Amino acid sequence: MNERLLQVSGSPHIHSGESVKKIMWSVIIALIPAFLVSIFYFGIPVIILTFVAVASCVVIEYLIQKYLLKGEITIWDGSAIITGLLLAFNLPANLPLWMVVIGAAFAIGIGKMAFGGLGKNLFNPALAARVFLLISFPVQMTTYPIAKPIFHLGADIITGPTPLGILKEGVKNGQPVDSIMHSTQMPDYINMLFGQMGGSFGEVSAIAIAIGAIFLLIRKVITWHIPVSFLLSVFLFAGIFHWVDPTMYANPFFHLLTGGVMLGACFMATDMVTSPISPRGMIVFGLGCGIITMVIRLFGAYPEGVSFAILIMNSLVPLINKGFKPKVFGVAKQK
Amino acid sequence: MKTFKIGGIHPEENKLAKEEAIEVFPIPKQVTLFVTQHLGAPSTPIVQAGDKVKVGQLVATAQTLVCANLHSPVSGTVVKVEPVPDMTGYRKLAITIDVEDDIWEETIDTTSEIRKEITLTKPEIIERIKACGVVGLGGACFPTHVKYMVPPEKKVDYIIVNGAECEPYITTDHRIMLENGEECLIGVQALLIASGAPEARIGIEANKPDAFEHLQRLASQYPNIKVFKLKTKYPQGAEKQLIKSLTGREVPNGKLPIEVGCIVNNITTTYAIYEAVQKNKPLIETYTTISGKRAKTLKNYKIRLGTSISEVLSTVGIPENTGKIVSGGPMMGKAIANINSYFVKGMSSLLFIDESESKRGVVEECIRCGKCVTACPMGLEPYLLYALATRADYEECEKHGIMNCIECGSCQYGCPAFRPLLDMIRVGKNKTGYMIRTRNK
């Protein structure tokens, strides 16, 4: 028998083949449908803005790792690309590019690397950056281009409020919800479903986001717990208020389709790093996100509450992980 | 179809050798028998160099409760009783015998006739299982008779028989069920008598439909044996999970199956029990699958204990680019460090793992994906136990249930960051166990 050295290690001796890289690239693939839809509705600026956001995230991560931390460069794991994409998706398509770069710097520098990099961050970096930009540049961040299904250059974009903005403004002025819904400004449900409305460019098409989410579910990158509990709590919360007073509160379907609910529930809240670990914790997290979103939308100053809701719930994740542990085999019977 | 609820994974089954009938591996020229072939204390040799032995003759006895007798698998002359490196490289006391002929003890029934009628009484059956050195052949090698020494206040409701064979690659249980199903069921009958249990339940994973149908047909003549199909899901054959699947009962943590009125035995063990009880034949062989994605030959061998591993390897040939040879399943088996060692009881496979598959991936940061948590069949949080064990915080390890870990490896199998979760949890379990024992003193 010829001499040969054998590997020796503890069991298990096989591996599923899943890797962080594969997970991250799956998320990137899952974002493609929503990206294509936004190009269709908002045109070239989407491509430019996305490129700037992704490139700045990757470059900033590289610079921090190379010169500040002097450690391993991990830009190819795809996580910085995702942060860039998600950040871009949460911005109006006509935002000045230098603001995008500031957002990217905040996302990577403060949101991610300051906590210790991938896996250690408490808040979703893209959302943290979005909220940072929203507070710093409220005018530019709430002036949305209106979606039109034609290609056009940045110059002739018509801007206007989002459906939620229209609603909030109308309710504030004492108009009944029913008449706001039928105003000319307001897109109909079919348009909302496909994404022809004002908004951050990646959040507009519910269908495109759902396609991406289904891919992630099949790939087992995400589980149903967070999206379903998030969407369900938004639906129930909005539904109860609509049922009690339909003149003051909009239809629950309206709330599901507008703002960042779909994008938030499927892509932002499901971020592995910043969401709870056990399925029970995930459900609590999703419910919390949904309820806070609706509280902000119905009673808060902002028309839209998904970002804040997810960030608030992000900060509660360590507590949720402590409080909602998985059921341990053989323990329930002893209690 | 029955299954357990918490966690579980489904690795590629790779039951490559399932069509290969069991073949008898030729008797070697020399055998080396470790006195530790089971869980518990080593057995004590009662032969010395120069002694003549027959096949089935007792050569080392069990002196303590958790220990098993050891019999010579060959006839010949004892050469030496000295420590020899085992497959992990540690030197362990072993009896080496030069083989001459194949002369069996007269008390053993060597005919192939199936003896159905059980004439032994309850204590006689347990005594016979003990005398014949039967141990659990599912992998742990726990002395079988100990399980049947039930405290008088406990009642046995079910004998649970494990035909799940949930580990990838291994096919010996599958072949035994197909080829010796009838004997297995007689063995189960003996266990029903030994335990006083009214019913036996056999669980077989759905990926062995032929074995399931075969045993179900055979079991129709026994009203007290029921055969169930189980979902193909790892670790379906783990003791506690199997009880949950077959009876719905949950063994309380830190307790044994008898707590919920169950005793669990592997299907191949029931065959060994049949041979012991009905044929007075001690456990002198092991059933071993030779497999691997690039294995030159796929085999299910019946091998005399003490046969040299390298002799079997040179017979079947080691495939090119073999990076690791594993004894036992790929999920829970041991990587062999020293192939110049010898077969022991319950060594259910020799697997050739490819070079590419044998090396672990580069460890990355935990991204808190929770795959380990959803995979854990015990409802633990492997990522957390890993962190706690790394910090040497054994008080917290205990609080978070580290002692419940069954070391199935499901967490590490699915970890996308290639973290050595189980390695560290094993360390933590060890230290935590030590801490608990010293505290209780």
CB contact under 8 A, A6 and B409: no
Residues of A in contact with B414 (CB under 8 A): 16, 18
Nearest neighbour of B404 by CB, restricted to A11, A118, A328:
A328
CB contact under 8 A, A11 and B334: yes
Q: What is the structure's pLDDT at B192?
A: 95
Task: Name the phi and psi angles at A253, rounded to 5.
Answer: -65, -35
Q: How many CB atoms lie within 10 A of CB B57?
A: 22
CB contact under 8 A, B373 and A10: no
Give tens-digit pLDDT for A79-119.
Answer: 899 999 999 998 888 889 999 999 999 999 999 999 988 88
Cβ–Cβ contact A325 with B under 8 A: yes
Q: Dump pLDDT digits (tens) for B206-226.
A: 999 999 999 999 999 999 999
pLDDT above 60: residue A151: no
Quick one: tokens of B61? 């006895």
Structure tokens at B180: 């010796």
Q: For testing the chain B interface, which of A15, A74, A329 should be mutated: the one with the most B CBs within 10 Å?
A: A329
Show the tokens assigned to A10: 């503890």
Local confidence band at A149 (pLDDT 50, 70, 90 cut-offs): low
Q: Select from B382, B378, B384, B379 the least CA-distant residue to B415.
A: B382
Check residue A155 and give its pLDDT: 42
**Residue A333 pLDDT level (bands cut at 50, 70, 90):** very low
CA distance B43 to chain A (A): 27
- Token pair 């088996």 in the structure block, residue: B333
Complete domains list, chain B, with CATH: 122-279 (3.40.50.11540), 371-440 (no CATH)
Supply the pLDDT for residue B83. Answer: 95
Does A47 lie at the interface with B, CB-CB under 8 angstroms?
no
Split at pLDDT 50, 70, 90, the class of A158 is low
A184-193 pLDDT per residue, tens? 777 777 777 7
Cα A309 from Cα B184, distance rounded (Å): 60
> Chain B: nearest CA to A108, how far in angstroms?
16
Residue-wise pLDDT for A216-234, tens only, equals 999 999 999 999 999 999 9
Q: Choose the closest CB to A10 out of B9, B369, B426.
A: B426
At B46-99, the pLDDT tens digits run 999 999 999 999 999 999 889 999 999 999 999 999 999 999 889 999 999 999
CB contact under 8 A, A119 and B368: yes
Which residue did the predictor score with more confidence, A194 or A79?
Answer: A79
Contact list, A322 vs chain B (CB under 8 Å): none
pLDDT of amino acid A4: 67
∠ Cα A167 A170 A176 (to 5°)? 95
Integer Cα distance of B201 and B213 in angstroms: 15
Is any Cβ of chain B less than 8 angstroms from the Cβ of A72? no
Nearest chain A residue (CA) to B310: A1
Q: What ipTM does this complex have? A: 0.88
Nearest-angstrom CA–CA distance, A160 and A166: 9
Residues of chain B with pLDDT under 50: none
The whole model's pTM is what?
0.89
Calculate mean pLDDT across residues A238-257. Answer: 88
What's B363's DSSP letter?
A: P
Q: Which residue of B has its CA nearest to A329?
A: B378
How far apart CA B18 and CA B299 sit, in angstroms, is 9
Indicate which of B15, B367, B386 best probes the interface with A, i.e. most A CBs within 10 Å of its own CB: B367
pLDDT, chain A, mean: 86
Beta-carbon separation of A77 and B168 below 8 A: no
**Which residues of chain B have a CB within 8 Å of the CB of A276?**
370
Position A159 scores a pLDDT of: 63
Gap between the Cα atoms of A73 and A111, Å rounded? 18
- A328 lies within 8 A of chain B by CB: yes
**CA–CA distances in Å: residue A35 to residues A32, B42, B151:** 5, 67, 67
Chain B CA closest to residue A117: B365
**B329 closest CA partner among B297, B312, B353:** B353
Cβ B413–A120 below 8 Å, yes or no? no
Show residues of chain B in contact with A120, CB under 8 Å.
Answer: 365
DSSP SS3 for B60: strand
**Domain boundaries defined on chain A:** 20-141, 161-323
Residue of B nearest to A11 (CA): B332
- pLDDT for A24: 92
